[in-house]
Structure 1
Amino acid sequence: MKLGRLNHVGVAVPDMDAAISFYRDTMGAEVITEPFDMPEQGVKVCFVDTPGLDGSWGTQVELLSPLSEESPVAGFLAKNPLGGQHHLCFEVPDIDTARSEFEAMDKRILGPTRIGAHGTPIFFVHPKDMNGILTEIMETPKAHG
């Protein structure tokens, strides 16, 4: 397995509107997507873009809020009421190859490969196998080349 680009940092938030205001008003974010629901994953999602060093697109902050009490993010917020870092997401060129490599290393993959918020295949690896960090592995979006 070779480390790919850090695509985003997932941040669980108890109040999506307040989080958007924070990133816009306190952090000076200029590009924030409209929040959208992902019922199959039990979350509302919004992306905050950060600029790259050369003015291109940089790493994103993915804001996550639960759609119901059954959402994994609801469980996270129950333990962390103020919210906080939920996961890191790294890109890979081929999701199937990456999954096979993680499985060969006996890393615990949480659930099936599925389509994530960027419209590309993803899977999650258990934090106990990833130095304490819930890790999302995502196939590089075609728009990034």
Structure 2
Amino acid sequence: MKTLDHIAIFVADMDAGISFYRTLLGGDPIIAQVPELGIACAFFTDGKGVPIELVSFTGKGELAHGDVVVAIEVDDLDAAFAEYRAAGLKVYDQPPTENLPLRRGWITKKDGHGTIIELCQRGQIAAFIAIKRG
């Protein structure tokens, strides 16, 4: 089964993005720095609905302010990769990193009809957020 895991929005200025979404949604985000990927993340979640993640590049990146990632949760990443590749989609495998210890898949903006698609193993993003929350 495939379900919506979270939505990520690229922001040019993380502090300004956090301020805006704090006003819009309330609460404080869970922050994660991922220097090995050149990104910083801030997850807004109440633990009940779909998290909203803000992402900013701390280095260079090809994605721009306002770009959106739709993250799909799957039961088995390898099976999802095989299924989508068999359907002719280009799916990229991203291994875990030190500060983001989650294997994920990607369909690029070019191949995703203007939207970046992230494939996540069921439950891993929620577990990562819970660990960061402490």
Fold-level similarity (TM above 0.5)? yes
Higher-Rg member (1/2): 1
Counterpart-to-counterpart distance in 1, 2:91 and 2:25: 36
Cα RMSD for the two superposed structures: 2.5
- Displacement of 1:62 after TM fit? 1.0
**Amino acid of the structure 1 residue aligned with 2:32:** F
- Cα distance change, pair 40–123 in 1 and its aligned pair in 2 (3 A): farther
What secondary structure sits across from 2:113 in the alignment?
Answer: coil
For residue 126 of structure 1, the aligned residue among 81, 85, 108 is 108
Counterpart-to-counterpart distance in 2, 1:5 and 1:61: 15
Which runs of 4 or more aligned residues in structure 1 lie more than 3 Å from their structure 2 counterparts after TM superposition?
A: 116-120
* 1:22-68 Cα distance to aligned partner (Å, 9 max, x none): 1112x1322411x221123221111011x5xxxx5211111111111
Q: Percent identity?
A: 26
Instruction: Choose between structure 1 and 2: higher strand proportion.
Output: 1
Give 5+ residue unaligned stretches, structure 2: 127-134
What count of residue pairs does the alignment treat as equivalent? Answer: 126
- Cα distance change, pair 32–139 in 1 and its aligned pair in 2 (3 A): same
Residues 118, 141 of structure 1: 8 Å contact kept? no
Residues 126, 134 of structure 1: 8 Å contact kept? yes
**Amino acid of the structure 2 residue aligned with 1:46:** A
TM-score, reference length from structure 1: 0.73
- Displacement of 1:109 after TM fit? 1.8
Counterpart-to-counterpart distance in 2, 1:57 and 1:118: 22
For residue 29 of structure 1, the aligned residue among 26, 29, 36 is 26
Residues 13, 65 of structure 1: 8 Å contact kept? yes
TM-score, reference length from structure 2: 0.79
Alignment of 1:65 with 2:56, yes or no, is yes
- Displacement of 1:134 after TM fit? 1.2
Counterpart-to-counterpart distance in 2, 1:101 and 1:11: 26
Counterpart-to-counterpart distance in 2, 1:142 and 1:122: 10
